[in-house]
């Protein structure tokens, strides 16, 4: 049985008060999905600036994991896409994730990559070599040529 939760229409606007209330000094990581799926909402430069300012104030030591797998997919080409990592001093705290499945419509290949500062990449590489055992070498080589 499904309980009626008296759902309401969700706004595609960001809830800044909720972000302010949720983040604190103990926050370790914030995940941003930009553009968002399935709705396709894209953060504006002003919104990226506001998110950055809130993070600087509320949790300056947290990392930001950016799921940017749809960054190539724009319905309004005249609007500039702003990567969170490229705004202000955000690169040093940002891990940006991409994958071939979304970018090249080859989901079965299971190839992904991240962009991050060297100290973070070193830790990711250490984890990767001990946690990932089977991967598609041919797909990785193919993706490196794109």
**pLDDT tens-digit series, residues 78-87:** 778 889 999 9
Beta strands of 22-144 (E only): which ranges? 29-33, 63-67, 94-99, 112-115
The band of 7, judged by pLDDT with boundaries at 50, 70 and 90, is low
Decide: 96 and 116 in contact? Cβ < 8 Å. yes
Scan for tokens 């830790």, then name that residue: 123
Quote the percentage of the chain above a pLDDT of 70.
91
Is the model more confident about 103 or about 19?
Answer: 19
Rounded CA-CA distance 19/23 in Å is 6
Beta strand pairing call for 94-99 and 112-115: antiparallel
Query: What pLDDT is stored for residue 99 in this prediction?
Result: 86
Q: Which domains does the chain have, with CATH numbers?
A: 16-144 (3.40.640.10)
Decide: 31 and 96 in contact? Cβ < 8 Å. no
First to last CA, the chain: 49
The band of 6, judged by pLDDT with boundaries at 50, 70 and 90, is low
Quote the percentage of the chain above a pLDDT of 90.
45
Instruction: Report the candidate in 97, 98, 100 with the shortest Cα–Cα distance to residue 138.
Output: 100
- The model carries a pTM of 0.80
């Amino acid at each position: 049985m499904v309980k009626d939760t008296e759902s309401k229409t969700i706004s595609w606007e960001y809830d800044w008060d909720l972000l302010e209330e949720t983040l604190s000094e103990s926050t370790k990581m914030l995940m941003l999905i930009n553009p968002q799926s399935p709705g396709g909402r894209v953060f504006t430069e002003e919104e990226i600036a506001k998110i950055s300012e809130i993070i600087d104030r509320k949790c300056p030591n947290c990392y930001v994991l950016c799921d940017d797998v749809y960054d190539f997919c724009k319905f309004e080409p005249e609007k500039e896409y702003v990567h969170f990592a490229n705004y202000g001093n955000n690169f040093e705290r940002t891990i940006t994730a991409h994958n071939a499945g979304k970018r090249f419509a080859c989901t079965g290949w299971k190839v992904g990559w991240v962009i991050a500062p060297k100290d973070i990449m070193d830790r990711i590489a250490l984890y990767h070599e001990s946690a990932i055992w089977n991967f598609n070498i041919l797909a990785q080589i193919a993706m490196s040529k794109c």
